Amino acid sequence: MNQAENQPVLATEQVNAVEAEILRLARELPELGQAAVATRLQRAGLQISASGVRYIWQKYGLETAVKRLQALAAENAGCLESLTLNQRRYLERGLLSTRLAQGELAEDEPANLPESELEPLDRQRIILNAAAELFSTQGFDRTTIRDIASQAGLLPGSVYHYFSSKEELYMAVHQEGFRSVMLQMRLATHEVSDPWERLKRAFTVHINGMVGGSAIDRLTGHSLALTGHPRLLDMIRADRDAYEDVIKALIAQLPLKPAVNRTLLRLQLLGAMNWVYVWYHEGKLSPEQISEQMIDMLRLGVEGQAQA
């Protein structure tokens, strides 16, 4: 019996789960190498080797960090602003190195950026994602810097090099999350003229972030409904207020009856949308369907014609 025959065969469901997690990490943490991804999955009880991770990456054309970054940008209509500054620099230099190797550079283009000199991808992003995952699952109070460092595969001192305290890290996660969701809203609404459609698309982004986005998106979305922890609320109040200003501007454009209180309308909509993460079940209504139906019920009413 050869070595392959001695290896246990994963059930189809487990293979699918492993593949799904590899693709999720490729989207959320494109900077992680195959060994780091394999280690994370093994900690979560999913058995996969580094070479197995690479096999899945190759299956989807994601075997290099540059390709994973390109795919991440493509998910946001090719907008590089969806990447961090360090990720954009890495992507630009990686593409330049590829063109250099293939002899595609014009004579007047710089050609002094060998791949060995590429900057490492953003370590802060790894820390932010690790913190977001733990804040979401364990809560702020039960999560320590040591926990975050372990989740990120770093020493605690490496975390303190970037963030002086857990509170600063918590705020940084939310700043990144709100930056991301507001960017996605601009991308989703910038070519739409109908104000109701703009609002639907904005809230689709809002709901998708809470139930299907990255760990940072989910934590940010859940924190929009945060009411019972005054200290945490104070830490992110400025970011929440800036986000609500975006929603306020969208509601200001709606053609409403003069008597409608737009502030109450905004609070009613935000309250309904923020509560989705409590009852949402994947496989039923999509974020787009939830947003559309909620806003249509509000706009068009729900009262039906009485039966005779």
Give the DSSP H or E segment for 10.
Answer: none
Task: Let me know: does 214 contact 27? Beta carbons within 8 Å.
Answer: yes
What does R_g of the chain's alpha carbons equal in angstroms?
22
Q: Token pair for residue 288?
A: 């787009």
Whole-number Å distance between alpha carbons of 219 and 181: 12
The confidence score (pLDDT) of residue 52 equals 84
Whole-number Å distance between alpha carbons of 112 and 44: 42
The confidence score (pLDDT) of residue 251 equals 93
Centroid of chain to Cα 247? 20
pLDDT averages per 10-residue partition of the chain, 308 residues: 39 69 83 77 81 86 81 69 66 59 44 38 79 88 91 85 90 87 85 92 88 80 73 84 90 92 90 83 85 90 70
Whole-number Å distance between alpha carbons of 244 and 249: 9
Domain ranges (residues) in the chain:
11-63, 159-299
> Shortest CA distance to 196 belongs to which of 301, 298, 268?
298
Burial class (CB in 10 A: 0-12, 13-18, 19+), 44: exposed
Give the DSSP H or E segment for 211.
Answer: helix 195-212
Place of tokens 């940008």: 73
| Residues ≥6 apart with Cβ < 8 Å to 183 | 76, 79, 81, 82
Handedness of CA 129, 134, 139, 141 (dihedral sign): negative
Q: Token pair for residue 136?
A: 């979401």
Whole-number Å distance between alpha carbons of 15 and 10: 6
The confidence score (pLDDT) of residue 13 equals 55
> Shortest CA distance to 203 belongs to which of 145, 271, 102?
271
How many residues are there in the chain?
Answer: 308
The confidence score (pLDDT) of residue 144 equals 94
Place of tokens 């787009």: 288
The confidence score (pLDDT) of residue 90 equals 65
- Residue 160 amino acid letter: Y
In CATH, the number for domain 159-299 is 1.10.357.10
The confidence score (pLDDT) of residue 202 equals 92
Q: On the CB side of 10, how many CA atoms lie within 13 Å of its CA?
A: 14
> Shortest CA distance to 232 belongs to which of 219, 242, 244, 243?
219
